[in-house]
Amino acid sequence: MAMAFLVPLALVALLAAAITWLWDYTFMRLVWRPYAIGKDLRRQGIHGPTYKLVKGCKEDIKTMKEETDGLVLDVHDHNYLPRISPHYLKWRAQYGEPFLYWFGPKPRICIFDYELARQILSSKSGHFVKNDPPATLLDVLGNGLALLDGIDWVRHHRIIKPAFAMDKLKMMTTTMLSCAQSMIKELENQAFQNKNGEIEVDFNMQFRELAADVISHAAFGSSYKLGKQVFQTQHDLMAINVASSLDVQIPGLRYLPTERNRHRWMLEKKLRSSLMQIIQPRLASTSRDYGDDLLGLMLESCNETKQGGKEGGLGMSIDEIIHELSLLLTWAIFLLSTHPEWQERLRKEVFREIGREQQPTADALSKLKEMTMVVLETLRLYCPPLFLQRKPIVDITVGGMKLPKGVAVVIPIPIMHREKEVWGDDVGEFNPLRFENGVTRAGKVPHAMLGFAMGPRSCIGQNFAMLEAKSALAVMLQKFSFTLSPDYVHAPTDIFLLKPKFGLPVILRRLD
């Protein structure tokens, strides 16, 4: 009798819970909150495209990007903004700045003011944190340094930072150069087989392999080959998630056995398996000496705090650097291929400071001032990370703008790197000399360069990326001259980061 009475009560409780969830999800999240936030921001003069139930502005963004996807640029035209951000250009012109738009039901405020960006990015009080990543992105990368906040971020940052200190990086120069010279040697052997001493190489792929090789040694030590498998699997997973980023997210759909989900699950299983092949032998060590590479530092931290599962965090920190480093090198080669006067200028600097045959050292690389200028100008024109996002954890006023808790602020790097008022009338041209007196004097405001972000959450791997980029460019300039292949199509695209849509085929010629 009692049992028969309890069953209806349980069903009533479940029904009540379901109704509460539906109310919270369908009405509060999809209807009331967008209405309230939109009304509050309009009072402040912040306008934007109309919110559409569930979809937000995703369909509009997708349509505009599809319309400009076929746009091909001249190789000397660096204004790829209509290809990657037609929606930002349209909405800025239509609604002014800042403007409000909707990524699904989530509000985004796009800003273009450097001082406002500085205040948000330099927030040391912790009022601004990284924006919530999509659940599928967390599946790929885990709660790594780039996605953590608060105490967890402080702990991870403290552990990882020493591995990227300049003294440690100088010690790693030998490894960097060894990987770069191995790549160059292989290319030389291929060129020797051709009578004209020329070969065509897709440097988009070549530099991705080089970056993965270098960083795998740094992160995983003797397990670097398995480490490269980890990075390749993460890359494949990322491609799946980027392809669906503008789709309308239906609750529960990612758990259904669709073809895309089955592929994702297979890759996730492969990723976990590869990571555990690297981690388990170290965890099984009786000496508790996990090694002095980056993985060892992470495992030591996990042991000390009795928290596992941080391997995803390592993957995010390192995978992020791999992609950004390889693309930084890719775009640098593109610019030097289209500006032979600067290619020759850098070659003369390398010969002068290092020599024709000598292996570069960390100290010699630090003397390559003109190369530093070229790398920085590459970051300005073709910065791999395209947008920075932060959200306030409390209602806060910044620069006279009242930001509601949880409303993400978007900082569009490529647009801000092209403001004539800040960078001058030659903003659309490749001019490394603008960095002749350093980063802070390159534009009319000292914090105009956003390539590595700024403030406490600036890129922890920026010194690593700069040193490795200069290492690879130096050894390449010692052996080859290069020009773009006639097959190259200039169509930068934003697949997670800024990439050449059709690769970067380059003609290499041996100097001797």
Chain centroid to Cα 39, Å, comes to: 33
Closest alpha carbon to 249 in 329, 365, 153, 132: 132
Q: What are phi and psi of 388, to 5 degrees?
A: -105, 140
- Nearby residues of 417 by Cβ (< 8 Å), 6 or more positions away: 380, 381, 383, 423, 448, 449, 450
Which residue matches tokens 């001019």? 431
How far apart, in whole angstroms, are the C-alpha atoms of residue 446 and residue 112?
16
How far apart, in whole angstroms, are the C-alpha atoms of residue 146 and residue 494?
19
Tokens representing 37 are: 């936030």
Q: What is the largest CA-CA distance in the chain?
A: 96
Q: What is the DSSP letter of 499?
A: E
How far apart, in whole angstroms, are the C-alpha atoms of residue 453 and residue 399?
19
110 in a labelled binding site: no
Q: What are phi and psi of 313, to 5 degrees?
A: -60, -40
Closest alpha carbon to 212 in 193, 232, 198, 197: 232
Count of all residues that appear for the chain in the document: 512
- Angle made by CA atoms 140, 236, 230, in degrees to the nearest 5: 65
How far apart, in whole angstroms, are the C-alpha atoms of residue 482 and residue 332?
12
Which residue matches tokens 């403290």? 158
Alpha-carbon radius of gyration of the chain: 25
DSSP 376-415: HHHHHHS-S--EEEEEESS-EEETTEEEPTT-EEEEEHHH
**Which strands form 198-202's sheet, in the order they lie side by side?**
198-202, 505-510, 480-484
Tokens representing 50 are: 């109309």
How far apart, in whole angstroms, are the C-alpha atoms of residue 212 and residue 373?
25
Binding residues: 459
Binding residues for heme: 459
